[in-house]
Structure 1
Amino acid sequence: MSMASHVEPLIVGRVINDVLDLFVPTVAMSVRFGTKDLTNGCQIRPLVAANAPDIHIVGRANDLFTLVMTDPDAPSPSEPSMRECLHWLVVNIPGGGDPSQGEEVVPYMSPRPPLGIHRYVMVLYQQRSRMVAPVPTASGVDAARARFSTRAFADRHEMGLPVAAMYFNAQREPASRRRHY
């Protein structure tokens, strides 16, 4: 399967345009929540995504990557006035490794879609050099999550275009499925 074929679902799902500019993936990234392997545009129940996914990034050990995860559909897909909500930010991830080996700038926050079907986008950038990870204060983390821009972040840190991206959909679970104690 060619890397270019990975872009098509991103175009169809409007991830290209709403979040990213057109790019050609050059790095393989696998994402899995528990036993479920992520494919672009698949549906994941918020409960399944309660904990950060296992992510493996192919690359040489001296390569460094940044992972950004956002929700471009906050608070609702029809009125995304909070676009984008930052769910996770990890820098200095070594190639061949996973985010736990990098530096977590903003901790993982599970999907909490209040209304409609939300897209959750994971974008991988290759860094030119090691980043000095900013240490946000507790109040700073919440501020950092609101109206984040993946493009602006990449520009500010001169990362160029992404090397990989994947997204999944999630919607609020109907109340009937929640347990009543």
Structure 2
Amino acid sequence: MPGIGSEIVRDSLVVGQVIGDVLDPFTRSATLRVIYESREVINACEFKPSQVVNPPRIEILGNNARALYTLVDYVMKVMVDPDAPSPGSPTEREYLHWLVTNIPATGGINSGHEIVAYESPRPSMGIHRLVYIVFCQMGMQTISAPGWRQNFFTREFAEVYNLGMPVAAMYITCQREGGYRRRRR
């Protein structure tokens, strides 16, 4: 029942307002697995900043064995934080945490070309959504690194490089870990 799984994924992206804030509605045509250490990401699950210090292992399973992907961390893979620096005042929306292109369907993300190195999330206030977005490229592409990480716009990026709609997306939430509390005297 592939339709049921894709409906659940889209619903969680809608409920989490990823669809709307970051992406337009799309039809999922690839499976995205994101794994931090040994913990697999499930849409909308919460991670602490200490759990996402290192880049995750990414697996993209598509219908085309010859496909190339881009991941915007957000395969092309992109990872973004639409809530930077804080959810109440996202003046740096969307903050780019990672950008990997030319990821072969059979070789995995390590065989791709890292355009923007992974930067671990460090939310200072509020709950942040970290979005992993995968685009299917039409072939090997030369994609330039943006000159900044803040105010990266996934929709504009996809348009400039003719990436079309995403083929997969998921997100996690992350918030500042509790520090010490001063004792009141």
Q: CA RMSD in A?
A: 1.4
Give the match for residue 110 of structure 1: 120
Amino acid at match of 1:148: F
- Distance in 2 (CA, whole Å) between partners of 1:150 and 1:86 is 9
Give the match for residue 121 of structure 1: 131
- Distance in 1 (CA, whole Å) between partners of 2:139 and 2:153 is 21
- Distance in 1 (CA, whole Å) between partners of 2:102 and 2:148 is 19
Amino acid at match of 1:150: T
Amino acid at match of 2:154: T
**Cα offsets for 1:131-150 (capped at 9, x unmatched):** 1133x5xxxx6x42111000
Q: CA deviation at 1:49?
A: 0.5
Q: CA deviation at 1:129?
A: 1.6
Asked if 1:171 is matched to 2:175, the reply is: yes
Amino acid at match of 1:95: A
More strand by share: 2
- Structure 1 runs (4+) greater than 2 angstroms displaced: none
Q: CA deviation at 1:111?
A: 0.8
After TM superposition, the structure 1 = structure 2 runs for residues 16-55 of structure 1, keeping only pairs within 5 Å, are 16-55=19-58
Amino acid at match of 1:114: S
Alpha-carbon contact 1:61-1:97 (below 8 Å) kept: no
Unmatched 5+ stretches in structure 2:
73-78
Alpha-carbon contact 1:4-1:24 (below 8 Å) kept: no
After TM superposition, the structure 1 = structure 2 runs for residues 1-181 of structure 1, keeping only pairs within 5 Å, are 1-59=4-62, 60-68=64-72, 69-134=79-144, 136=145, 143-176=147-180
Q: Percent identity?
A: 44
Alpha-carbon contact 2:143-2:161 (below 8 Å) kept: no
Amino acid at match of 1:83: R
